[in-house]
Structure 1
């Protein structure tokens, strides 16, 4: 895992498209210890971007893809047996899936359009993607390698979707009314509903673990702040209030805390707060940029990306900010990480 009042014009919309697309979880590396997790990421350490996995104790680092093109943004399936990712090995960006050991790499989408991975359905049977139909026309689809469901079909930018925890709905962002708003739709493509209405930008939407609420950022008050609302769009509440910019909210597994990153103190750092906005706590403190927090599945750790060593590396810390350590450590950039459930 970068955004102020929206100005008119297609160049501005496309700038936000870029941010959203490039902005955004034992055997074969699994371990029983709660202190050891398996992380998938992509790295350009071998000259182009490839998919890797590593245990957080430094063991079992494995390169899963190996070709002359770019493979990016790995996401574990809910059962941990497979990894989905983006690849341009066929000449355009497409969605692939492979076993967790790198075998059986399969193109799931196989179209002429560029496609961007959003995530698995909670049951692991389907994958949510964004497809660039043409120019500034981006739509949201659900695919399974055989069939696909069209969730949005406008001539605008519909991007950055996320499944609800029960898989019944998908929230996404759209520029169809001239700015960027949050919409929700049933997973069969029916009952599309607009949740936010203003002339600014709303992004990074994420469901609470129980599916009842959606956290997001908005610049409706002049700078980017974290908001929360009920899943039907009601009770929209501002959680952060400062002169800096706050981005990328993520819920803890129990829904009680939200992690995010903010430049309120001069550069990007990781913060947490209660889900009602109270107890905002800075967890990282250095002159580099720390971004894209993600809770471990058990809620005991927070993973994040840091440039503190001069390049992008993946770090882990306790939820109170203690015991910060780098999981990856080399001269290349390690990006786009996801945590095995």
Structure 2
């Protein structure tokens, strides 16, 4: 059964099955984990990449899925923010402000060959490799809004998929690379949308007067896990990819967010 990772209160890394059973796999200060997509399973080597400020500023670390062998990969005074592995497990993609503003970088899994892919006056962040590793999806902040972009894996052919008219963010590829799930404020508040990889067929999946955000596909592409505040605080929900069968998975007084499926 596939499991979800969620991070309540930004404090610990938690495994949760779709039945609701949870398991803690790290311990530490609340600042050690923060923001969407920065804790990621790599299916081949069973590794987790994450961000920690244990050495004074936020850097990128890697560890085994049981929490052992925690190793620092970056060392910069500016923050580095990991967003996962390439599908073959050889690269880590991240954004960093080391050159003045947030840009997209890649590096080998051991921290070597750190390479900048974007070079813009705006901030580029939230990158993700496509399942084939041929493209990279990311968010750019320009003209006061976040827009969703895609580029080749070498940084070439950068193009805007959602336009400049509204706020769009948190894009994620479907497992087969044919679709992208994302959030948009185009209808008044954060809701979850789906589109094809070329930006066509943009379709709204949720419709609430509170925010729904941080969507992730299940490994088989049949479901989307997300966070919603529809019941008063941030909880984890699951739905089919057409927006049907929305159900709540967590129920806590605390906030539960940043969910991600394990590959299996």
TM-score (norm. length: structure 2): 0.85
Contact 2:61 2:70 in 1 (8 A): no
Once residues 114 and 233 of structure 2 are traced to their aligned partners in structure 1, the CA distance between those partners, rounded to angstroms, is 41
Contact 1:42 1:336 in 2 (8 A): yes
| Corresponding residue number in structure 1 for 2:51 | 130
Are 2:108 and 1:186 equivalent residues in the alignment? yes
Q: How many angstroms does 1:299 deviate by?
A: 0.5
Residues 46-65 of structure 1 correspond to what in structure 2 (within 5 A)?
51=14, 53-55=16-18, 59=19, 61-65=20-24
Are 2:62 and 1:142 equivalent residues in the alignment? yes
Once residues 251 and 8 of structure 2 are traced to their aligned partners in structure 1, the CA distance between those partners, rounded to angstroms, is 11
Compared CA separation, residues 140 and 334, structure 1 to 2 (3 A): closer
Unaligned runs of 5+ in 2: none
The partner residue of 1:236 within 158, 177, 193 is 158
Q: How many angstroms does 1:203 deviate by?
A: 1.1
The partner residue of 2:235 within 303, 307, 313 is 313
| Corresponding residue number in structure 1 for 2:27 | 87
Contact 1:175 1:181 in 2 (8 A): yes
| Corresponding residue number in structure 1 for 2:205 | 283
The partner residue of 2:187 within 259, 265, 287 is 265
| Corresponding residue number in structure 1 for 2:39 | 118
Once residues 259 and 313 of structure 1 are traced to their aligned partners in structure 2, the CA distance between those partners, rounded to angstroms, is 19
Mean alpha-carbon deviation: is it higher for 252-261 or for 126-135?
A: 126-135
Q: How many angstroms does 1:155 deviate by?
A: 2.2
Aligned residues: 255
Compared CA separation, residues 146 and 332, structure 1 to 2 (3 A): closer
| Corresponding residue number in structure 1 for 2:226 | 304
The Cα RMSD (Å) is: 2.6
The partner residue of 2:146 within 224, 241, 244 is 224
Once residues 99 and 54 of structure 2 are traced to their aligned partners in structure 1, the CA distance between those partners, rounded to angstroms, is 18
Compared CA separation, residues 220 and 40, structure 1 to 2 (3 A): closer
| Corresponding residue number in structure 2 for 1:158 | 80
Once residues 138 and 13 of structure 2 are traced to their aligned partners in structure 1, the CA distance between those partners, rounded to angstroms, is 30
Q: How many angstroms does 1:268 deviate by?
A: 0.3
Once residues 47 and 3 of structure 2 are traced to their aligned partners in structure 1, the CA distance between those partners, rounded to angstroms, is 22
TM-score (norm. length: structure 1): 0.67
Larger Rg: 1
Q: Deviations over 1:167-195 (max 9, x none)?
A: 11111111112111111112233322111
Q: Deviations over 1:230-251 (max 9, x none)?
A: 1110010100014321111111
Once residues 40 and 139 of structure 1 are traced to their aligned partners in structure 2, the CA distance between those partners, rounded to angstroms, is 20
Compared CA separation, residues 256 and 287, structure 1 to 2 (3 A): same
Residues 187-202 of structure 1 correspond to what in structure 2 (within 5 A)?
187-202=109-124
Unaligned runs of 5+ in 1: 1-29, 31-36, 66-83, 94-113
Once residues 316 and 179 of structure 1 are traced to their aligned partners in structure 2, the CA distance between those partners, rounded to angstroms, is 35
Contact 2:94 2:127 in 1 (8 A): yes
Once residues 12 and 114 of structure 2 are traced to their aligned partners in structure 1, the CA distance between those partners, rounded to angstroms, is 36
